[in-house]
Amino acid sequence: MNQHTKSHSHFRPIYVGTACVMTAALVMALYFAPTEETMGHVQRILYLHVSVAWIGLLGFAVMGAAAMAYLFRRDLDWDCWSQAANEVGWLCCSLTLLTGSLWAHSAWGTWWTWDPRLTTMFILWALCSCCLVVRGSIEHPHHKARLAGIIAVLGLIDLPLVVMATRWFRGVHPVSPEMEPTMRITLLLNVVAFTIFFTVLFLRRRSQLLSERLLHSLEIQTLKIREMEILT
Amino acid sequence: MTTLIVTYVICAFAVALYILRMSGLQRQILKRMAAQQLPLQSSAAEKSGD
């Protein structure tokens, strides 16, 4: 058995555990949680919506913190953390807007409204998208990391606005609705399960980005050595 | 009920796409490692069918 296979078997319990927790959370959300009287089955979108929204915010916070660390230390390892958080955060922010829109169509009769919570979340998604575009369009690793880092740090201003939007401004988005204990437990389980799942995904992506970066520098070194061999 | 199913299916699809992209990138990394003649990972690249 080689080292690669060994490292995979080392992570297998984590993957199996994550899959089990996710299955339990989905079964709870779709089957065991009681059906809400007014909205019916559509209310079950809430378990998914809240979970991905939480990961989206967490992802953006990690991205901002890692970007700040990069801007202070100029160490590209921190940019790998930031990029991994950016990708996972963007995915979750997009899913938040999508699930929210589908829920809003059933609850409010409209796909979108410029409610403070929705608007601030949309700004967050736009900033996440900006960072991804910057990362995809600039070649130099430090230039890319610096610009994406500045956007991420500026975006941190929007984070408390998203969290507190329903309390600070008047809007239609629910604050924290009354729930039955089973619903509350289901919601909590879903949040925990999604946090574990996306953390595993984030850590895998981060290690992938690290090895990609190391490999890139190794390839450049090999090229230089070959050039020198040809010249001599 | 249809809205609920559509929502969960779209989310599962999006996450599956991201995981597929990640595994594609992983295969590329293993190929590049094999090209650099890194002994441990080159055997892993062969195992992955590349």
Is there a contact between A223 and B40 (Cβ–Cβ < 8 Å)? no
A52: its two tokens: 């991905």
Show residues of chain B in contact with A135, CB under 8 Å: none
**Residue A1 has what pLDDT?**
40
pLDDT of B46 above 70: no
Q: How far apart are the CA of A40 and the nearest CA of chain B, in angstroms?
A: 8
> Between B10, B11, B44, which is nearest A4 by CB?
B44
Is there a contact between A122 and A173 (Cβ–Cβ < 8 Å)? no
Sign of torsion over alpha carbons A64, A68, A69, A73? positive
Is there a contact between A68 and A149 (Cβ–Cβ < 8 Å)? yes
* Averaged pLDDT of chain B: 78
Q: Which residues contact A157 (CB under 8 A, 6 or more apart)?
A: none
The percent of residues in chain A predicted with pLDDT above 90, rounded, is 57
Show residues of chain A in contact with B20, CB under 8 Å: none
Torsion angle, alpha carbons of A202, A203, A206, A210, to 10: -170
Tens digits of residue pLDDT in A38-84: 888 888 999 999 999 999 999 999 999 999 999 999 988 999 999 99
Q: B24 pairs with which residues across the strands? A: none
- CB-based contact A219 B15, cutoff 8 Å: no
- CB-based contact A212 B25, cutoff 8 Å: yes
For Cα atoms A62, A67, A69, give the angle at the middle one, nearest 5 degrees: 95
- CB-based contact A48 B29, cutoff 8 Å: no
DSSP state of A11: H
Measuring CA to CA, which residue among A85, A75, A94, A78 is closest to residue A131? A85
Show residues of chain A in contact with B15, CB under 8 Å: 91
Q: Which residue of B has its CA nearest to A99?
A: B7
Q: Which residue of B has its CA nearest to A219?
A: B36
Q: What is the pTM of this model?
A: 0.87
Q: Which residue has the higher pLDDT, A177 or A107?
A: A107
Q: Which residue has the higher pLDDT, A230 or A198?
A: A198
**Residue A180 has what pLDDT?**
84
Coil, helix or strand for A173? coil
